[in-house]
């Protein structure tokens, strides 16, 4: 047996003796058990760690009812078994890890940092509270600011080629109907459209509502074009040129987005979740920025290009799991 093995054996034996002794039923209950110092009393010592009544009670309180039932039929039995089979075992394994200096080895060190990072995020989420705590006032404000997501009219995707004369429009229309494909329509738009804002993108006017409002900021479509598009089905080209002011247009209705009609009550849960995620991200980013300012120094991103990764370093299957 090596000196290290002997040390571990002695450590385990001492811990087992202490735990066994402290778990023995007492003949009498001390009068001060109900006093203010009861939770501070030590029920076991494992190496340098003292386990108190309060710590053990907290561990028991974290258990689900079915877990408590699996440990014993009485509170004393639950506490004794939890201490002997869970808490003491964890402390002994932690002491063994210290003996092996696992903390200093890269895989374990990485997992420790990830665990701390995940615990920090969980604590931040607890401080913010659950999504259900988002007030209805905040939900309504978000709904009003993003009303088009939840209450919007039908919209039509329209491609159109603007021509100077009816004859030009008719010639373009005939060519488009002979080969009604996006490639042909795009080529005709580049060659013939007088609308220099859209001729390089197949004459795409975006998604347009019945009143001519386009998804393109600050752009409106002539109502005659919209009315003509509404007269045909998705994928159909309007069968005749459409008068558009002094010009004539070839109009192709490409697709339709159905109207959206959802009340604030119908989407309240979805909005609460969206607001909660935004708050978590905002607080996380704020914390990271503060920690970066306080602790990150001597950063030279240019040197990252010189880092030589060993073979297999990019295999994500061997990487430790990410925390939530």
Q: Which residue has the tokens 């021509």?
A: 163
Q: Quick one: DSSP state of residue 130?
A: -
pLDDT mean for each 10 residues of the chain (324 residues): 54 48 44 65 88 90 90 90 89 86 83 90 93 95 91 93 96 96 96 94 93 82 95 96 96 94 94 96 94 89 83 52 45
Q: What is the pLDDT of residue 5?
A: 58
Chain-centroid distance, C-alpha 192: 47
Answer yes or no: are the C-beta atoms of 232 and 253 closer than 8 Å: yes
Cα distance between residue 12 and residue 44, in whole Å: 13
**From CA 54, how far away is CA 60, in angstroms rounded?**
10
Alpha carbon distances (Å) from 125 to 175, 243, 283: 61, 59, 9
162 token code pair: 């603007």
pLDDT at residue 323, rounded to an integer: 44
Determine if the pTM surpasses 0.75.
Answer: no
Q: Count CB atoms within 10 A of the CB of residue 219.
A: 14
- How far is it, in rounded angstroms, from Cα 249 to Cα 164? 9
**Which of 58, 99, 106, 108 shows the shortest CA–CA distance to 82?**
58
Helices 136-145 & 268-295, crossing angle to 10 degrees?
Answer: 90
pLDDT of residue 201: 93
Secondary structure of 29-91 as H, E, C letters: CCHHHHCCCHHHCEEEEECCEEEEHHHHHHHHHCCCHHHHHHHCCCHHHHHHHHHHHHHHHHH
* Angle of helix 106-128 versus helix 268-295 axis, rounded to 10: 130
Q: What is the pLDDT of residue 245?
A: 92
> So what's the pLDDT on residue 17?
46
- Are the C-beta atoms of residues 245 and 97 closer than 8 Å to each other? no
């Amino acid at each position: 047996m090596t000196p290290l093995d002997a040390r571990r054996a002695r450590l385990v034996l001492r811990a087992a003796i202490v735990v066994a002794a402290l778990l023995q039923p007492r003949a009498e209950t001390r009068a001060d058990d109900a006093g203010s110092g009861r939770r501070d009393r030590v029920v076991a010592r494992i190496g340098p760690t003292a386990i108190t009544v309060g710590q053990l009670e907290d561990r028991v309180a974290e258990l689900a009812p079915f877990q408590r039932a699996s440990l014993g039929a009485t509170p004393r039995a639950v506490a004794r078994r939890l201490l002997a089979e869970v808490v003491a075992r964890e402390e002994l394994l932690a002491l063994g890890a210290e003996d092996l200096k696992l903390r200093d080895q890269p895989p374990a060190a990485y997992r420790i940092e990830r665990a701390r990072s995940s615990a920090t995020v969980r604590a931040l989420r607890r401080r913010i509270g659950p999504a259900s705590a988002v007030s209805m006032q905040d939900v309504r404000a978000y709904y009003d600011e993003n009303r088009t997501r939840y209450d919007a009219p039908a919209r039509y995707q329209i491609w159109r080629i603007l021509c100077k004369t009816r004859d030009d429009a008719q010639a373009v229309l005939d060519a488009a109907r002979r080969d009604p494909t996006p490639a042909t329509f795009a080529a005709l738009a580049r060659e013939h459209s007088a609308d220099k804002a859209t001729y390089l993108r197949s004459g795409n006017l975006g998604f347009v509502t019945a009143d001519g409002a386009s998804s393109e900021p600050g752009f409106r479509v002539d109502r005659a074009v919209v009315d003509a598009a509404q007269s045909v089905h998705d994928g159909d080209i309007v069968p005749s040129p459409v008068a558009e002011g002094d010009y004539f247009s070839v109009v192709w209705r490409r697709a339709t987005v159905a109207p959206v009609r959802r009340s604030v009550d119908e989407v309240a849960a979805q909005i609460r979740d969206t607001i909660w995620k935004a708050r978590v991200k905002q607080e996380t980013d704020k914390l990271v920025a503060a920690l970066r300012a306080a602790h990150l120094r001597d950063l030279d991103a240019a040197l990252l290009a010189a880092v030589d990764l060993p073979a297999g370093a990019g295999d994500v299957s061997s990487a430790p799991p990410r925390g939530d």
